[in-house]
Copies of this chain bind each other. A is one copy, B any other.
Amino acid sequence: MFSGAQISLYPMADEFVRIILGSLSALDPYRERFRIETDDISTLLVGPPEELFPAMRDLHVAASRNGVHCVLHATVSRGCPGEPDDPICTPIQGRTSDTPLAQRITDALKAAQGAEPTGQIVAAQLSLYPLGAGHHMDEIYGCIDFLKQSGVFGKSKNFCTTLRGDAGPVFATLGEAFLRFGSPEGHLALDLTVSANSPTSA
């Protein structure tokens, strides 16, 4: 198993460098369990799939403090056959490949329920890509069913789905989308945009 994300923060402010550097301490509680590498385009997080979305939540909420319009983008992936297994990327817990889709929707709703609010409202947009499977649209439609019932559903758009609400339940819902759809051992990618404090928010 190999799981991780390439993440970027875009604070729409002249002081973007200071804002980005000032938010990085939000990753401190995760550093021990992640490999982290930064270049000029994105920061790689490699580590346990269950911890990716909490880490991204804490980073984005920290960078969005004081009302700055700030977007986080992430290319999230697990099970890519082109990447070596990494012992820091534990398999997804309590999952078997024969759990039916309807059961996984119920499990995802239960797991995302009661997520702690952060006080930061966000809008998120995600596209889920289950790769190498013949029935990728079934998994995508199943995931969209889950998102519609999640309590933070925004709307369906071409190529993606949006969520709206407090960053706590929104990132919890995103995490369940990543963990429970597509084969547990298969290759799955998720293209994610999360926006805070947009002056044109709906």
Residues of A within 8 A of B (CB): 2, 4-6, 8, 10-14, 16-17, 39-42, 44, 46, 69, 71, 73, 75, 77, 80-83, 123, 125, 127, 129-134, 136-137, 140-141, 157-160, 162, 187, 189, 191, 193, 195, 198-202
A198 (CB) vs chain B CBs: closest residue: B40
**Cβ B158 vs Cβ A123 within 8 A:** no
Given A12-B12, A73-B193, A159-B189, are A137 and B132 also a contact pair (CB < 8 Å)?
yes
Using Cβ atoms and an 8 Å threshold, which residues of chain B touch A127? 75, 77, 189, 191
Q: Which of A131, A158, A201 has the largest number of chain B CB atoms within 10 A? A: A158
CA distance A80 to B136 in the complex (A): 11
The 7 tightest CB contacts between A and B, nearest first, are A10-B10, A12-B16, A191-B191, A129-B129, A40-B200, A77-B159, A40-B198
**Cβ A4 vs Cβ B159 within 8 A:** yes
Copies in the complex: 2
Given A71-B8, A191-B75, are A202 and B40 also a contact pair (CB < 8 Å)?
yes
Known: A6-B160, A46-B158, A75-B160. 14 other contacts (CB 8 A): A4-B158, A6-B125, A8-B71, A13-B16, A41-B125, A41-B195, A44-B159, A77-B159, A83-B159, A127-B191, A129-B131, A132-B133, A134-B134, A159-B189
CA distance A193 to B80 in the complex (A): 20
Shortest Cβ gap from A132 to chain B (Å): 5
**Cβ B75 vs Cβ A159 within 8 A:** yes
Shortest Cβ gap from A80 to chain B (Å): 7
CA distance A17 to B198 in the complex (A): 10
